[in-house]
Amino acid sequence: MLTGPVPRFINVNFPAESYANNAGLCGEPLEPCVAVGNHHFLFKTVLSRRVLFVCGFVTGWSLSALVGIYLFFLGLPGVKNILLLIKNRTKVMVIDGNEWPLEEVNNHPKNLNLEMFVTRMSFVELSKATSNFGQDNEIGNGMLGKVYKALVPNGWTVAIKRLHVSEDLEEEFVSEIKTLGSLRHPNLLPLIGFCSERNERLLVYKYMSNGNLYEWLHSTDDNARLLDFPLRVKIIAGVAKALAWLHDGGNFHVVHGNISSQCILLDENFDPKLSNFWEATLAKTNDRDSNLSLLPIVESFDFTTYKKDVYRFGVVLLELLTRKESYELSCSSLNLSSSSFAGPLDVDKLLLGQGFDDMVRQLLELASNCMKFIPDQRPTMLQVYLTVAALARVHDLTGSPEIQLHVD
C-alpha cells in the first residue's frame, strides 16, 4: 500500500481510480494532504510553553521561599507594621494642625489591656463629635483637663474629658479606666469609653445634666434654694451608699481617696454619681483573677486607710449642711466637739424653719464623728449609710429610692 502525497507529473494526469486501494495517498486528484510541517510547528509550540511553565513555576517557588525566610527572621511585628503603613499611607485628617490617620490601629499592649474594662474609641470620631474640641462644646475646665459635651453617632449625649498632655497623668488615666470600667453601681458615674492615641488621653462618660454638687451649693442662692433638705438627704445617702459598697463589696475593697463635692455629679433626677477615681486603690480581693486585681494594691493596707474616705465624706456632709467651702471645714479650723458648732449660725439659712431642724442637728453630729482626729474613732461607711437611712425613715424621707435600709 502506498502512502504520502501524489507526485506531480509534467503533462501527465492520472485519474483518481489509478490510485485505488491506497488509502494512505493524498493530493490531486485525491483528498488534500494535511501539512506535516504544521504538525511539527504545533509540537514545538506546545513543548516551548511547557518549558516556560516549568521555568516560571521553579522561579516563583524559589522567590516565595526566599520571601518566607525573610519574613520569618523579620518577625510578625515587622510584618504588622509594614501592613499598617500600607493600609494608612494616604488616609489622614488634620486636627489641631496635626495629621491623624483616619483608621489608625493602635495595637499597643496597654490599649489591649484597657479594652478589657471599657470600649476603646476613635480620636477622630470624638473630635468630630465635639467640633474639633471647640469652645462652644466646652462645659468644664479643671486641673486634669477640659470637659466637652458631645453627641456621639449612636445618639448618646456624653461628657468627654480631654486630659492635659502630661506623662504624670498616665497613672491616673489608667486607674480611672480600671476602676470605673470594673465596678457597676447606681451611684457610680458610668464610664462609656476611652481613647489613647499618640499623646491624646480621653475619657468618655455618660453626661450628667445637673453638673456637680459643688456648683449647686456655692454658685447662687437660687441654685442652693432648689436643693431643699429632702433632696440634700437623698444626695448624701446615695454617696454614703456608694462608699459603703466600695469599702465592703464582698470580694473587693476599694478606697476612693479623693471625695469632694466636685466629684459628686447629679443626673436629671439629682441622683448622685461618684466620679474621679484617679487615686483609687484596692485593699484586697479574694478573687485574684478578677479585673479588680489589676488595680493599684496597697500592701500595707490597714483599717485607717478606709477612714480617709470617711473623713472626706464628713467634710462633704458639712459642706452640704452649711454651704461653707471645704477648706473652711477641717478639724483644725473648727471645734467639732463644741455645742456651738451645731448652732443655727453654722447651718445654711435655707434649711432652717423647714421642719427638719432636729435631723439637721443629728447629721451635723454624724459629720463631726466622721471627722474625728483619731481615725479609729470614726465610724465605717456602712455605719454612716445605715445612720442616714434610719434618720430618713424616722423623719419620713424614705420616699427616695436612694434611701433604703440595705446596701445592694
Residue predicted with more confidence, 153 or 313: 313
Confidence of residue 184 (pLDDT cuts 50, 70, 90): confident
The pLDDT of residue 192 is above 50:
yes
Rounded to an integer, what distance in angstroms lies between the CA atom of residue 29 and that of residue 6? 8
Give yes or no for residue 172 having a pLDDT over 50.
yes
Buried b (16+ CB within 10 A) or exposed e, 206-233: ebbebebbbebbbeeeeebeebebbebb
Kindly report the number of other CB atoms within 10 A of residue 184's CB atom: 8
Measured CA to CA, the distance from residue 238 to residue 408 in angstroms comes to 12
Which range among 6-20, 24-38, 96-110, 358-372 has the greatest average pLDDT?
358-372
Q: Are 267 and 234 in contact, with CB atoms under 8 Å apart?
A: no
Rg (CA), the chain: 41
The domains of the chain, with CATH numbers, are 93-206 (3.30.200.20), 213-394 (1.10.510.10)
3-state SS, 12-27, equals ECCCHHHHCCCCEEEC
Q: What is the pLDDT of residue 2?
A: 60
DSSP 109-142: HHHHHHTTTSEE--HHHHHHHTTTT-GGGEEEE-
Query: pTM of this prediction?
Result: 0.69
Provide the angle, in degrees to the nearest 10, between the axes of the packed helices 357-370 and 381-394: 170
Residue 83 confidence (pLDDT) above 60: no
Residue located via cell numbers 478578677: 290
Q: Name the residue type at position 368.
A: S
Whether the per-residue pLDDT at 260 is higher than 70: the answer is yes
Q: What is the pLDDT of residue 313?
A: 97
Question: Distance between CA atoms of 129 and 4, rounded to whole angstroms?
Answer: 89
Which residues have a Cβ under 8 Å from the Cβ of 224 and sit 6 or more positions away? 216, 217, 323, 348, 350
pLDDT of residue 94: 41
Q: What does the pLDDT look like over 375-402, one tens digit per residue? A: 999 999 999 999 999 998 887 776 554 4
User: What secondary structure does DSSP assign to 327-372, as a single string?
Assistant: GG--TTTS-TTSGGGGSGGGS-GGGTTSS-HHHHHHHHHHHHHHT-
- What percent of the chain has pLDDT above 70? 61
Provide φ and ψ at 28, rounded to 5°: -55, 135
**Using CA atoms, how far apart are residues 127 and 99, in angstroms rounded to an integer?**
13
DSSP string, 47-58: HHHHHHHHHHHH
**pLDDT per position as a tens digit, 300-326:** 566 778 899 999 999 999 999 999 998
Cα 13 to the chain's mean position, in Å?
A: 101
Q: Mean pLDDT across the chain, nearest whole number?
A: 76
Say how far apart CA 323 and CA 215 lie, in whole Å. 11
Element (H, E) at 276: none
| β-bridge partners, 252 | 285
